[in-house]
Amino acid sequence: MTALIALFWRDLRRAWGSGALWLPVLFFLLVATAFPFAVGPDAPLLRRAGGGMVWVAALLAALLPIDRLVKPDKDAGVLDQLAVRGFADEVIAAVKIGAHAIGFGLPLMVALFPAAALLAQDSGRVEILATGIAIAVPALASLAVLSAALTANHKGGSAVGGLLILPLAVPMLIFGAGMLDPSGRGAVKLLAATSLLLTVIGPFAAGAALRGLRE
């Protein structure tokens, strides 16, 4: 357990210590800032479309850190050293997913509030958005680590990773944005179920991908 905690803190330190943390958060805020420029200062339109835009921005921001989740550890021999010590690839993947969910999810949640304000979202909608994104973050982290593991042997892996993540994340986008619809009361349950499914499958799929990197 001590070893897994050490691995978790190492991943978190690398996420927060390198400055790479701010890249997806800034990207998220920039997208939220750019949207009103594109559609004009029409508050009712921004209020109506802004919630969906927040979700799209969150998904795109989740793609940015893919390059640094697995490839640096593979190139530096860290994954081999962990395997030699008998750590199951699934456990390593689960730790990486946990660290990424915290390392990426927390700042994203903080950035959500100014982004929602820029998109004219009232407090009720901000609350719904925050709940939805908090539910989706573990699944987004799971998909990000899976994509990172699948593409760690390829140049330009993040571009390929984006193509992998986006289709798998579409159900969360639909249910998450659906939570903002007054008639979409079941959306939160569907979002939670989708997120749970992806979060549970993620470590096994990413673990298999990590194992494949050694062959």
Partner 1 sequence: MTRLLRLDDVACIRGDRLLFEGLSLALNRGDALWLRGPNGTGKSSLIRLAAGLLRPAAGTIERRERVALIDEAAALDAELPLRRALDFWARVDTVDGHSVDRAMDEMALNNLAEVPVSMLSTGQRKRAAMVRVIASGAPIWLLDEPANGMDDAAQARLVAAIARHRANGGAVLLASHFAIGVPNLAELDMGALA
Residues that bind partner 1 (CB under 8 A): 2-3, 6-7, 10, 14, 17-18, 75-78, 80-85, 214-215
CB of 23 vs partner 1, minimal distance in Å: 16
CB of 89 vs partner 1, minimal distance in Å: 11
CB-nearer residue toward partner 1: 85 or 155: 85
Nearest Cα neighbor of 213 from 169, 141, 157 is 157
CB of 77 vs partner 1, minimal distance in Å: 3
Q: Maximum Cα–Cα distance for the chain, whole Å?
A: 59
CB of 15 vs partner 1, minimal distance in Å: 13
Sorted by sequence, the CB contacts under 8 Å of residue 49 that are 6+ apart come out as 35, 39, 119
CB of 2 vs partner 1, minimal distance in Å: 5
CB-nearer residue toward partner 1: 52 or 72: 72
Helical packing angle, 89-118 and 187-214, nearest 10°: 140
CB-nearer residue toward partner 1: 75 or 122: 75
CB-nearer residue toward partner 1: 17 or 114: 17
CB-nearer residue toward partner 1: 10 or 47: 10
CB-nearer residue toward partner 1: 83 or 174: 83
CB of 141 vs partner 1, minimal distance in Å: 21
Nearest Cα neighbor of 205 from 104, 97, 99 is 97
Radius of gyration of the chain (CA): 18
